[in-house]
Amino acid sequence: MSETHQSLWLGPLRRPVRLMMVASIVATAILVLWVILGRAFFGTDIGMKQFLSPAENPLVMLTMIISSITLLISSVYLSDSRGAIEIQPSGFFDIISLILSRFTMIGISILVFVMFYEVVSRYLFQKPTLWANELSLWIAGFLFLFAGLYAMQQRSHIRIYVIYDLLPRTFQKVADVISLGLIWTFAFLLIWGGYNEALSKFTRWETFGTAWDPPLPATIKPAILIIIAMVAIQALSNLIADWNKLPEHHTAIADIDDTEIESMRKSIKD
């Protein structure tokens, strides 16, 4: 099957995006290796502290820029294919949510690597880092928020269908509109109440107050408001996309995923 046929939304752009992703990964690996070897063998003073102020060092700035481009292009490319248990994107906001979900997937891998590095450094070499714990919290905060957006796009958030399934489709639509109104009300009140604090933390670049001192408050607080707004937009996208769907009835059997069960059987046999 050709790459275009495998594509979810990129179409003929899938191959160029993949080539860009590979090139950016190679460039990032070279820069990171350069930084590591320079610190280990050539006495450069580039460490994790310098990555909090990348403008002060051209190499750090270049590494940050290329790494960011790599994350973006990789997220775009990976969002162009659908997982076995994922639903087909149908809303106007779905692609953005899928791109951010792939960014979250990559972030989980980075988080695991950071924790692994800290464990090895602390218990094998007796040299604990000053930054691993804060970096883990920083990454995990964004992952938690983006996971909520992905759950909304996949309709995998908690929903109670006991009464909903008994209603005719017209009243189900009314219930969906009410649910959307509650989501938007919550998002509006959260943004209204937290905007000034988020703006204050961001403008003064409030840091965490630790030895490494990353700007967790300055980044996480605004991210909460922005991603909650995106969740509200995704909820509207879901409502529009599902408006003309036939009535659905949910049972315990419907929650069982055949693909996942088959994968578990194969893993047991192996």
Tell me the pLDDT tens digit for each residue of 40-63.
777 788 888 899 999 889 999 999
The verdict on 100 and 47 lying in the same domain is: no
The verdict on 128 and 184 lying in the same domain is: yes
The verdict on 109 and 61 lying in the same domain is: no
* The predicted structure's pLDDT at residue 24: 97
Domain span holding position 36: 1-81
Q: What is the mean pLDDT of the chain?
A: 91
The number of folded domains in the chain is: 2
The verdict on 139 and 203 lying in the same domain is: yes
User: Which H or E run includes 16?
Assistant: helix 14-41
The verdict on 21 and 41 lying in the same domain is: yes
Percent of the chain with pLDDT over 90: 71
The verdict on 67 and 132 lying in the same domain is: no
If DSSP codes are grouped into helix, strand and coil, which group holds residue 184?
A: helix
Dihedrals phi, psi of 117, to nearest 5 degrees:
-60, -40
The verdict on 67 and 12 lying in the same domain is: yes
* The predicted structure's pLDDT at residue 259: 66
189 vs 196: CA distance, rounded Å: 13
Cα dihedral sign, 240-246-248-253: negative
Percent of the chain with pLDDT over 70: 93
Closest by CA position to 194, among listed 216, 214, 217: 217
CB 80 within 8 A of CB 73: no
Instruction: Indicate the residue among 40, 56, 81 that finishes a domain.
Output: 81
* The predicted structure's pLDDT at residue 5: 56
Rounded to the nearest 10°, the torsion over CA 6, 10, 16, 19 is -60
The verdict on 122 and 72 lying in the same domain is: no
Q: Write out pLDDT tens, residues 176-220.
A: 999 999 999 999 999 999 999 999 999 999 999 999 999 999 999
Instruction: Indicate the residue among 51, 81, 111 that finishes a domain.
Output: 81
234 vs 175: CA distance, rounded Å: 17
Kindly state whether residue 262 falls inside one of the protein's structural domains. no
Dihedrals phi, psi of 157, to nearest 5 degrees:
-70, 165
The verdict on 152 and 196 lying in the same domain is: yes
Instruction: Indicate the residue among 48, 81, 114 that finishes a domain.
Output: 81
Cα dihedral sign, 230-236-241-245: positive
